[in-house]
Amino acid sequence: MSEPNKGNHTEIEVRGLNLWYGENHALHDVSIDIPKNSVTALIGPSGCGKSTFLRCLNRMNDLVKNCRIQGSVKIDNKDIYSKDIDVVDLRKRVGMVFQKPNPFPMSIQDNIAYGPKIHGVAKKDIDGVVEDALRSGALWEEVAERLTTSALDLSGGQQQRLCIARTLAVRPEVILFDEPCSALDPISTSKIEELIMELKKKYTIVIVTHNMQQAARISDHTAFFLTGDIIEYGKTEQIFENPKMKPTEDYITGRFG
């Protein structure tokens, strides 16, 4: 079991989390404390369970057939797997941004307004919510004059910032990023990285990344996963400059993975 991080106020507390896809035991007794208003990076070789773990944090694995989960995941002190949790409300509180930008096939404005409308924001307030979300997503200046045009006409990087803005529009507490830059060029990537570092002032961020430099640049804490276990978890500086575990050192120095 990994040492839970002690320090900042904990936003996400995971204890003894086990997950099976059918017979495949994909997460082994994972425990971790993820601090509020910070960026936590999940790194590790392909297939080690990073995305699986990330998806446990907003119960996206509920949608996977034959998936079984044991253990507890508390967000803001409340077990998100308890019976009285409304999963739609949970996914509003814990937003997610995926590897490939996935705007809805509708206008920029409607992409952002979609969630707030579903969650009951009054019509008169929608324009303000849209503008705020696009500003927070560092996209407003680029799209203010073309809000009614299709989101699919935006560049890949702009689409990804739109997806981030769409997540922000429903006022989440936590944002999960699953390799958000892997489909983007270096300039778009650095814009998203800057945005993530800005967003952590208001939100708790957990990011899966294959890009070690990215983890080192933007995260405060890093967890190294290997075959379904957290091998090491700590301050990013310590993990990258002075890893305590041999497999962590081997991975970050490129000896495997």
Ligand X SMILES: Nc1ncnc2c1ncn2[C@@H]1O[C@H](COP(=O)(O)OP(=O)(O)OP(=O)(O)O)[C@@H](O)[C@H]1O
Interatomic CA distance for residues 236 and 233, integer angstroms = 8
> Total residues at the site for ligand X (CB under 6 A)?
12
Q: How far is the CB of 83 from ligand X (least distance, A)?
A: 24
Q: If binding is defined by CB under 6 A, does position 75 make contact with ligand X?
A: no
Examine residue 62 and tell whether it contacts ligand X (CB under 6 A): no
Q: Which residues of 99-131 are buried (b: 16+ CB within 10 A; e: fewer)?
A: bebebeeebbbbbbbebbeeeebeeeebeebbe
Regarding 24 and contact with ligand X (CB under 6 A), the answer is yes
Among 12, 17, 26, 139, contact with ligand X (rule: CB under 6 A) = 26
Among 49, 95, 101, 243, which residue interacts with ligand X (rule: CB under 6 A)? 49
In degrees rounded to 5, what are phi and psi of residue 127?
Answer: -60, -40
- Nearest CA to 172 out of 30, 11, 1 is that of 11
* Alpha helices for 38-95 (secondary structure H): 50-56, 87-93
- The minimum distance between CB 106 and ligand X, in angstroms, equals 28
Q: Which is nearer to ligand X, 57 or 147 (CB)?
A: 57
Residue 14 touching ligand X (CB under 6 A): no
Which amino acid appears at position 73 of this protein?
Answer: V
Q: How far is the CB of 256 from ligand X (least distance, A)?
A: 14
Is position 47 an interface residue for ligand X (rule: CB under 6 A)? yes
Residue 32 makes contact with ligand X by CB under 6 A: no
User: How far, in Å, CA of 251 to CA of 212, rounded?
Assistant: 10
Binding site for ligand X (CB under 6 A): 21, 24, 26, 44, 46-52, 64
